[in-house]
Amino acid sequence: MRISGFSSGMDIDQIVKDLMRTKRVPMDKLTQQRTTLEWQREQFRDVNIKMVDFRNNKLFNYGLEGAINAKKVNITGNTAAVSANAISGAVAGAMTVSVGSLATAATTTSTTGVGAIDTSKKLIDIKGVGAGKIDYTADGSGNVTFTLTNGASNATITLNENTDTLTSMVSKINSSNANITAFVDSVTGKLSLTSKTTGAGTITFSDSVPSNLLSKFNLPAATAGLDANVTINGIATTRSSNKFTANGVEITLNATTASTGGTASTLSIVSNTDKIVETIKSFIKDYNDVLGTVNNKINEERYRKYPPLTADQKEEMTEDEIKLWEEKAKSGLLRRDTTLSKMASDSRLAMITSVNIGGTAVNMTSLGITTGSYTERGKLVLKDEAKLRAAIDANPDQVMKLFTQQTTQTDANLRISPTNPDNGLFNRLSNVVMTALDDLATRVGTSRFSSDKDTAFSASSYIGEQLRSIDFKITDLTQRLSLVESRYYKQFTAMETAMNRYSAQSSSLFGASK
């Protein structure tokens, strides 16, 4: 039990606290070092997330065939018979298309209906003869079974007259493997069965004994489905569907050529300049955003007179004062970081170095793209959009390769070099960013692939090891400080005990003298 100044009249707790304040200076420094490392690590992660997203999402999507090499289809001649849409892999050129006949689906419809009928009633309730009735047969369990065949597809449907209705019969047919759409009209009592796909083939059905439910709807032999007859570039061919793909173009047959004027449709596959320009603009924006973030961090002002606050210092300050102080303390923690500085420098080199395309050196300036002023530290500017559009129209393949060409270099170092002349701009940047992500993973413990802010840091990283070492030192120092504090209290307790004993002796002697 600690005695706190009863005899001496001194504030022992405050004295010990003041004595310990000096002893805690090494602990405060360790705590500040730990806080600084944690702040640095968080700032690295924020930059890392942007870099991962830029490389793994944005760059990847920009490099897709449908983005940087987008195509579109211009239709001339007969514009009513067909419509078309260029998809990935569309081959530049022209096709002539003449439609002889459209593909149709197999179908059968009741010649005579069973009359007005309530399709929501249980089958047992509409069983019988007369208006609104169907004279079918069920087995001993009340089941009605029939089989539908549609080309190579077939399904057996089982209904129970005590639970199923005509509506549920339609639902079961529509969701079955027969690939058929069914419909019952409650006004006429007619049933129709139509194949969900077009093309050659027919629909048949059979009522399993003793069921004869479908037979009661008077369904005739189905009208067989037919393939479309089409002529493409002079070659007569057939298609099972009115929508098909040829040369990377999705073609939809809308009507026969004869019924829409008699002239053929000409499909011209050309570069979609508008979409390619938008892709390049978006790339420039995202590249500048990442580069700007990195440049801001490596050039941010460092205020070394503002270390992290200790707990005692925070107690003496207001919340606003703490906020302003910590803004200064967190500033410049990544200033001149070697990994980020190299990434920014290599990115600029990757963008300004020409790409060798079939023996021709091509660079961004040929597309009207330049770097900004010196103060913008390598940001890209689309200075001449007309020049970019002209380059795309004149040689879209060359523009695509400038960004997406893959290197054939086998040397590992040259392969990932930001100035590799065989590599397109997107691939150069991907390598530059990946190198930085690898370095940060080793040093900081950030993820190379995750852009989730909650992803845990790797404890085996350089900073992770530093933090572990500091934690060990803090634990050891905490134990030693605790011993020092206990010794101080023990000494003051001994003093108080002695003073109390002397006081008692003095009082005793004083009383005896009287």
- Mean pLDDT on 323-330: 96
What does the pLDDT read at residue 172?
97
Q: What is the pLDDT of residue 90?
A: 85
Tokens of 99: 């439609």
pLDDT band for position 512 (cuts 50, 70, 90): low
Report the SS3 class of residue 255. Answer: coil
pLDDT grade, residue 224 (50/70/90)? very high
Do the bridges between strand 355-357 and strand 360-362 make them parallel or antiparallel, or are there none, so unpaired?
A: antiparallel
pLDDT band at 7 (very low <50, low <70, confident <90, very high): low
3-state secondary structure 56-111: HHHHHHHCCHHHHCCEEEEEEECCCCEEEEECCCCCCEEEEEEEEECCECCEEECC
C-alpha gyration radius of the chain: 41
Report yes or no: 298 and 344 within 8 Å, Cβ to Cβ: yes
- Alpha-carbon distance values, 132 to 122, 127, 211, 360, 497 (Å): 12, 9, 19, 81, 110
Report how far residue 504's alpha carbon sits from residue 486's, in angstroms, rounded to the nearest whole number.
27
Q: How much of the chain exceeds pLDDT 70, in percent?
A: 96
Stretch 292-315: mean pLDDT: 94
Distance CA 392, CA 408 (A): 25
Instruction: Report the alpha-carbon angle 376-382-383, nearest 5.
Output: 90
Greater model confidence, 15 or 263? 263
- Beta partners for residue 487, in sequence order: none
Cβ-contact 355, 425 below 8 angstroms = yes
In degrees and rounded to multiples of 5, residue 492 shows phi and psi of: -70, -35
| Residue 70: closest CA among 279, 283, 343, 246 | 279
The CA-atom distances, in angstroms, between 308 and each of 30, 31, 301, 331 are: 11, 9, 16, 11
pLDDT digits (tens, 9 = 90+) for 304-321: 999 999 988 999 999 999
pLDDT in the model for residue 500: 72
Report the distance separating Cα 39 and Cα 334, nearest Å: 10
Provide mean pLDDT across the span 15-44: 87
What pLDDT band is residue 8 in, cutting at 50, 70 and 90?
low
Whole-angstrom distance, CA of residue 92 vs CA of residue 86: 10
* pLDDT at residue 513 in the model: 54
Task: Give the mean model confidence (pLDDT) for residues 98-106.
Answer: 97
Which residue is associated with the tokens 């597809």?
Answer: 153
Tokens linked to 500: 């109390």
Q: What is the pLDDT of residue 199?
A: 95
- Is residue 3's pLDDT more than 70? no
Average pLDDT, stretch 89-103?
93
Quick one: pLDDT at residue 496?
74
3-state helix/strand/coil string of 186-225: CCCCCEEEEECCCCCECEEEEECCCCCCHHHHCCCCCECE
Cα within 13 Å of Cα(247), Cβ side: 17
pLDDT band at 1 (very low <50, low <70, confident <90, very high): very low
**Strand pairing report for 180-184 and 191-195:** antiparallel
pLDDT digits (tens, 9 = 90+) for 137-172: 999 899 999 999 999 999 999 999 999 999 999 999
Confidence (pLDDT) at 21: 76
The 3-state DSSP class for residue 382 equals strand
- Give the pLDDT of residue 4: 54
Q: In 3-state terms, what secondary structure has residue 183?
A: strand
Of the candidates 34, 18, 23, the residue with the CA atom closest to the CA atom of residue 477:
23
- Alpha-carbon distance of 512 to 508, in angstroms, equals 6
Give the C-alpha separation, 225 to 194, whole Å. 10
**What average pLDDT does the structure give for the chain?**
91
Contacts of 311 (CB under 8 A, 6+ apart): none
Task: Copy the structure tokens of residue 129.
Answer: 């003869």
Q: How many helices (H) and strands (E) would you count in the chain?
A: 14, 18
